[in-house]
Structure 1
Amino acid sequence: MSEYMDKQREVIYLHEAQARLNQLSFEPKTVSVSLHDALNETLAKNISAPFPLPNFRRAEYDGYGISDVTDLDSSAQYEIVGEIGAGDRFTRDIGLNETVKLMTGCRVPDEIVKVIPIEKVTVYEDKRIQVNENETKANITEIGYEVEQGQVILKAGTQLTAAKLSLAAAFGIKRIKVYQKISVGILTTGSELIDIKSTTKEGTTFDSNQILLTLLVEESGGQVVLCDTVSDDLDEIDRRIVEMSHQCDLILTSGGVSVGDYDYIAAIAQREKLLFNKIAMRPGSCTTAFCYKHVPVIGLSGNPGACFTGFYFLAEPMIQKFRKQASRLVYKKMTLAQSIPQKNTFERYLRATHSYGRVQPLAKNQSSALQASAETTCFIKIPANTHCTKEMEVDVWLLPCR
C-alpha cells in the first residue's frame, strides 16, 4: 500500500497547495452577538449612524460661552448668569453682555457662538468676567461634525477592534451581526500518543500536537468543536473523520500522512477528493489535503515542527477565509543574520526570530524539534538548491501575536 501511494504523489509547490485550498467555496453563517462577544470577529453587515455625532453642540474646553464676538476688545466684560455641566440642560436666554460657565463636553446653547477658555479670562467676585486675550476659535464641536446621521460607521468585512466596537457603543448599538466562527475538528493520530493527564511509559509520547492545534485554531479566530486522539487504526480513524464531517466546517489531522504502513490518513485521502499529498517544502512535504464529502480535511505532519509550520501556511488562511479576512502572516523582505550553507532539493521554511530587519534561524530546526516553535517569531523561505550567505535578502513571514 505504501509503495502504491508514493507512486501516486504529485509534487506541487506550497503556493499551488494554498491556491487549491483557496478555491474551495465556503458559505459562512452570520450570528447576532453582543459588543463584548464581537471582539476580533468580522462584521457581516454595514452599520449606519442612527443619529449624528455629536448629536448636540458640544463644548471643547472648560470656559465661558458668549453670544457675540466683542472679545476682540480686551476690556469686554460679561455677567455670569449660570453654569452648565456635562449632561445638564440650560433653558435661560443669554443676553449679549451675559455669559455661562461651560464644562468640557457639555451641551452648548444655540445662542452661544464661542467658548472662551478659562485661562483667557479674569473672574471677579461679583460674578463678572473680563476677556484678557483674543480667542480666534469657536471651541464648539457642531452637530454631526464627526459623523452625519445615516453615514456608514462600520463596513461589512471589518475586523472588529476595541476602538471600533466603542464607536458602535457611542450610538447605543447593543448587538451586531458577525460571521460565525468556523467549526473545526482536530484529530491527532498515533498509537504512541498519550494524553497529558496520563502517566508516561517507555515508547510513548505526550500528545503536544493536540493542544498546539487547538490553541492555534482559537488564536486564529476559529472554534474547536470536536477533538480526539486515536491509535493507528484505519477503521477508527475513518469513523472519527465521518463523525467530524457532520459537525465541522474544517478538519485538521496530525500524523499518518507519510508513506509508512500505518499512515492511514494518506490512505483515506486516496479514495476521497484528493487536493494534494506532496508539497515541495521542508518540513511537511507529505502534508495532505482532501475533501470528505463537502468538508475539507488538512492532514498535517505528526512531527511537531512540521505541524506548526503547516498550520500557519495552510490551515490558518482557511480559517481567515471563513471569517472574510486575509491571513495574519505578514510578508517581508529581510536580511539573514548568518549564512545557511546546507542545500535541499525542496524549498525550506525555517523557524526563526527577527529584529530590526534581520532574521536569525533557530538552531534546532528539524521537523521533529518542538522547542524551536516556542521561540519562533517568523518563518524564512530558503529556495531549493540554494546556499544562503550572511546578509542575503530572503522572504520572511512574520507570525501574529509574537
Structure 2
Amino acid sequence: MTRRTVAEYASHITRLLRPLEQLPTEDVPLRSAIGRLLAADVTSPLDLPLFRNSQMDGFAVDAASVVEVPARLTVRATIAAGDAGLGAHVPGTATRIMTGAPMPPGADCVVPVEDTAADGDTVVIRRGRVAGEFVREPGTDVGAGSLLLPAGALLAPRHIAVFAAVGIQTVTVRRRVRAAVITTGTELIPAGNTLGPGQIYDSNGIALATSLEANGVEVVSVGHSSDDPAEFRKLLDAATESADLVVTSGGVSMGDFEVVKDVLVPLGGEFGHVAMQPGGPQGSTVVDGIPVLSFPGNPVSTLVSFEVFARPILRRCAGLPPIVAEELVLSHPVTSVAKRQFLRGRRLGDKVEVVSGPGSHLIAAMAWADVLIDIPAEVLSVDAGSEVKVWAL
C-alpha cells in the first residue's frame, strides 16, 4: 500500500466493510431488541385499547342521569382493573370504577372521584359530564393491522413498550456485525498478572472490544497472540470462522517482529502508511472472505484508528446516527506536523483545549479527552481563538 491520505484510506475501509450493511435478518426476543435495527414493518395484532375502559378513578354513569347536578345515584357495583363478566348499566345508577377497568355496557361517561361525594350506597355527583368523557374507546390509540413502526427504525425503549403492549414477543432485526479482536505482542499480558521485566498490560483488547460494542457490534472473541506467526495464524483462522470482521492491533510497522504483517501480506494484505498522527501504520486484508483491519499497537494509535476508519461504517451498519464534526474555538495555540493530526481535546463550553501531547503511548491522558481535534495536513500552526474541527469520542 502506497502512502495514502486519511480520506483515501477511510474510503478504502468503507468499501471493504460495505458488504456488512447487507447482513441477514434474525428474530430476537423483545427483551433483547433494544438498540437493534428493525428489519421488517411491525403492525399491531389488536386494537389498543382493546376494550372500552375508564380513564379515571370515579363513577361510570350515563350522561343523561347527571344533566342536573347535584344528582344522587345508587351505587350498584365496583369494577376494578381486570374484572370481567360485567352486568349492563342501569340508567340513573352509578358504578364505582377504577382507572383501566372495563366500562359496564350502557354507561357512556365517567365522573372523576374528585367531582363526587360518597354517602353509603349512594354517590352525589357534583358536576355533570357528557357522553364519552373519560372513556377510552377501543382502537383510539392504534387499530388492529395499523403500522406500529417501519423497517429501518432503531429500537428504543419507547418502541419496546408499545410492542409489549400489543402482545408482540419477538421482532425481526438486522443481524449485528460479529467481530473478533486479536491483539499481538509478546510483551503484553492480561491484567491481574504480575508484570515481569519488559512486560506491560494489554489494554488494546478491551479497548477495541468496548469500542466495537459501543458502536453496535457484537464481539464474539477477544484473543491475544505473541509474536509467533503460527500462534497468530491459529487465532486468525478461528476468528474468521466465527466473525464477520476481524480487528487486530500491533505487528504492522517496519520492525523485525511484525507478526500481523508477516502473516497477512502473503495472504494478499495491504500494509503501509497513512499520512496521519497518531495511527500512521495501517493494514487491511480479506481472509476467507472476512475483512481484517490491522491497526498499530500503541494504545492511542489503536483507538484513534478505530474512531477515524472503522467507527463511521460500523455505525451505519448498526443503524446508529453518524458522528458529525463540530466547530469549536481553540483555547490556546497549537503546532502540528505535515500530516493530518488528531489531537486529544476536551470541551470547555464552546471552546476546546488539548489535553496531552501527540505521543501515541499517552493512554492515560486520553481518558481526559472527549473529542479529537482534527488538524489538516497542510496546517502547521493554529492560533488561539481559531475555530477547529472536532469529532466527539
Residue 334 of structure 2 is aligned with which of 341, 349, 355? 341
Does structure 1 residue 361 correspond to structure 2 residue 336? no
For 1:61, the equivalent position in structure 2 comes to 56
Does structure 1 residue 176 correspond to structure 2 residue 168? no
Residue 302 of structure 2 is aligned with which of 282, 292, 307? 307
> What CA distance in whole angstroms lies between the structure 2 residues aligned with 1:189 and 1:67?
77
8 Å contact kept, 2:70–2:124 = no
Structure-2 change in CA distance of 1:344 and 1:69 (3 Å):
farther
8 Å contact kept, 1:351–1:380 = yes
Does structure 1 residue 352 correspond to structure 2 residue 345? yes
Give the Å deviation of 1:390: 3.1
Q: What secondary structure, in the 3-state scheme, does the structure 2 residue paired with 1:22 have?
A: helix
Give the Å deviation of 1:132: 3.4
What TM-score results when the alignment is normalised by the length of structure 1? 0.86
Give the Å deviation of 1:180: 3.0
Structure-2 change in CA distance of 1:158 and 1:342 (3 Å):
same
> What CA distance in whole angstroms lies between the structure 1 residues aligned with 2:269 and 2:5?
13
8 Å contact kept, 1:338–1:390 = yes
Letter in 2 for 1:320: R
Structure-2 change in CA distance of 1:98 and 1:70 (3 Å):
closer
Give the Å deviation of 1:54: 0.8
Q: What secondary structure, in the 3-state scheme, does the structure 2 residue paired with 1:25 have?
A: helix
Residue by residue over 1:276-301, the C-alpha shift from the partner in whole angstroms, topping out at 9 and shown as x without a partner, is 74333221122222222311111111
Letter in 1 for 2:207: L
| 298-307 or 69-78: bigger deviation | 69-78
Structure-2 change in CA distance of 1:286 and 1:319 (3 Å):
same
Give the Å deviation of 1:369: 0.7
Give the Å deviation of 1:87: 0.9
| 167-176 or 256-265: bigger deviation | 256-265
8 Å contact kept, 1:58–1:108 = yes
Does structure 1 residue 128 correspond to structure 2 residue 128? no
Residue 155 of structure 2 is aligned with which of 160, 177, 185? 160
Does structure 1 residue 12 correspond to structure 2 residue 14? no
| 280-289 or 213-222: bigger deviation | 213-222
Residue 390 of structure 2 is aligned with which of 393, 396, 401? 396
| 270-279 or 238-247: bigger deviation | 270-279
8 Å contact kept, 1:10–1:276 = no
Structure-2 change in CA distance of 1:354 and 1:133 (3 Å):
farther
> What CA distance in whole angstroms lies between the structure 2 residues aligned with 1:246 and 1:338?
49
Does structure 1 residue 194 correspond to structure 2 residue 186? no
8 Å contact kept, 2:327–2:387 = yes
> What CA distance in whole angstroms lies between the structure 2 residues aligned with 1:247 and 1:293?
12
Q: What secondary structure, in the 3-state scheme, does the structure 2 residue paired with 1:251 have?
A: strand
Letter in 2 for 1:288: G
Structure-2 change in CA distance of 1:210 and 1:83 (3 Å):
same
Residue 50 of structure 1 is aligned with which of 21, 45, 57? 45
For 2:312, the equivalent position in structure 1 comes to 317
Q: What secondary structure, in the 3-state scheme, does the structure 1 residue paired with 2:151 have?
A: coil
8 Å contact kept, 1:20–1:275 = no
| 287-296 or 130-139: bigger deviation | 130-139
8 Å contact kept, 1:84–1:90 = no
Q: What secondary structure, in the 3-state scheme, does the structure 2 residue paired with 1:122 have?
A: strand
Structure-2 change in CA distance of 1:275 and 1:168 (3 Å):
farther
Structure-2 change in CA distance of 1:250 and 1:94 (3 Å):
same
Structure-2 change in CA distance of 1:317 and 1:134 (3 Å):
same
8 Å contact kept, 1:265–1:299 = yes
Residue 84 of structure 2 is aligned with which of 81, 89, 92? 89
Give the Å deviation of 1:86: 0.7
Q: What secondary structure, in the 3-state scheme, does the structure 1 residue paired with 2:78 have?
A: strand
For 1:4, the equivalent position in structure 2 comes to none
Give the Å deviation of 1:237: 3.1
For 1:263, the equivalent position in structure 2 comes to 258
Structure-2 change in CA distance of 1:57 and 1:12 (3 Å):
same
5+ long unaligned stretches in structure 2: none
Letter in 2 for 1:205: I
Structure-2 change in CA distance of 1:209 and 1:99 (3 Å):
same
> What CA distance in whole angstroms lies between the structure 1 residues aligned with 2:260 and 2:44?
51
Structure-2 change in CA distance of 1:136 and 1:150 (3 Å):
closer
Q: Provide the identity percentage.
A: 25
8 Å contact kept, 1:80–1:129 = no
> What CA distance in whole angstroms lies between the structure 2 residues aligned with 1:365 and 1:356?
23
Aligned pairs (5 A) from 1:8-47: 8-14=1-7, 16-23=8-15, 24-26=18-20, 27-47=22-42
8 Å contact kept, 1:334–1:396 = yes
Residue by residue over 1:37-59, the C-alpha shift from the partner in whole angstroms, topping out at 9 and shown as x without a partner, is 22323333322111011111121
Residue by residue over 1:180-221, the C-alpha shift from the partner in whole angstroms, topping out at 9 and shown as x without a partner, is 332222111223222334331222222111122223233333
Aligned pairs (5 A) from 1:203-282: 203-273=198-268, 277-282=272-277
> What CA distance in whole angstroms lies between the structure 1 residues aligned with 2:298 and 2:40?
41
> What CA distance in whole angstroms lies between the structure 1 residues aligned with 2:325 and 2:137?
44
8 Å contact kept, 1:58–1:107 = yes
Structure-2 change in CA distance of 1:336 and 1:271 (3 Å):
farther
> What CA distance in whole angstroms lies between the structure 2 residues aligned with 1:379 and 1:136?
61
8 Å contact kept, 1:187–1:251 = yes
Does structure 1 residue 377 correspond to structure 2 residue 385? no
Q: What is the number of residues matched between the two proteins?
A: 389
Letter in 2 for 1:20: H
> What CA distance in whole angstroms lies between the structure 2 residues aligned with 1:356 and 1:53?
45
Q: What secondary structure, in the 3-state scheme, does the structure 1 residue paired with 2:26 have?
A: strand
Does structure 1 residue 104 correspond to structure 2 residue 91? no
For 2:142, the equivalent position in structure 1 comes to 147
Give the Å deviation of 1:131: 2.5
